[in-house]
Structure 1
Amino acid sequence: MLGVTKEVPKMADYYLKTDNIMKNMFTVALKDELAAQSQMGKVRPATEAMLQKVRDYELSEKRLPITTGEQRELRNTLNRLRDKYLAMGRYSDGIDSVILKVMKPNTSRRFFW
């Protein structure tokens, strides 16, 4: 048919090589963010969607596909979790390393190693 456009699903901009520790850290950070948002009375659907995406992620896939908006959401929530840990006097080096991985993700699903 002429003039009919087919909707193309949004491709992921980045692929995070994710292990169990990172998945758990994402879940904790996003749950804390949702709790803070619900206290303020403004729960963002993007945060809920990202939490659901992380929960549905299977570790056998090895790479979590994310968009730039989701990358920003993860980066901000991990930074808030880091601030919370520092305020409690805990070490944040594990969170720092995950933030760096989120800041510089791979742009390809295929890795060369």
Structure 2
Amino acid sequence: MEKRRCVKTDEITVNMLVHALRDVFREEKDAGASTKETGDLILRLAGHKDKKLYLTDGEHKKAVQALNGLRDTYIENGRYTDGIDTVLMRIMNARYRTYRTR
């Protein structure tokens, strides 16, 4: 058993995370950096059906950075960021919970 961040999710949260991480994945791929961690997280989110999402510290950090980058892009284009802010705060305020590895 290990400690992971537990995030309550719904369809909007998962879709917003996939959208933000997709942009990060493209940037990493263009820069020639490793895309394994981002790609694995996107695939895990694509098949996510539970009400709770457990993130490791690395995944949590990447999700926050990706959502913040998406928020910056929206602000540059003059779009509203209310939905992104909600998801970002939900991820940032996630508490540690015990996670059983299978």
TM-score, normalization by structure 1:
0.79
User: Residues 59-87 of structure 1, C-alpha deviation per residue, up to 9 Å, x if partnerless?
Assistant: xx200111111110100000010011111
Post-superposition offset of 1:12: 4.5
Note the residue ranges of structure 1 that are not aligned, 5 or more in a row.
1-9
Pairing 1:36-51 to 2, within 5 Å after superposition: 36-51=27-42
Structure 1 or 2, whichever has the larger Rg, is: 1
Aligned to 1:75: 64
Contact 2:3/2:97 (CA < 8 Å) preserved in 1? no
Aligned match for 2:46, one of 47, 52, 55: 55
Post-superposition offset of 1:93: 1.6
* Paired residue secondary structure (1:13): strand
Post-superposition offset of 1:26: 0.5
Pairing 1:82-93 to 2, within 5 Å after superposition: 82-93=71-82
Pairing 1:1-113 to 2, within 5 Å after superposition: 11-58=2-49, 61-108=50-97
Note the residue ranges of structure 2 that are not aligned, 5 or more in a row.
none
* Bigger relative contact order (CA 8 A; separation at least 6): 2
CA distance in 1, matches of 2:3, 2:30: 31
TM-score, normalization by structure 2:
0.86
Larger proportion of strand: 2
Identity %: 32
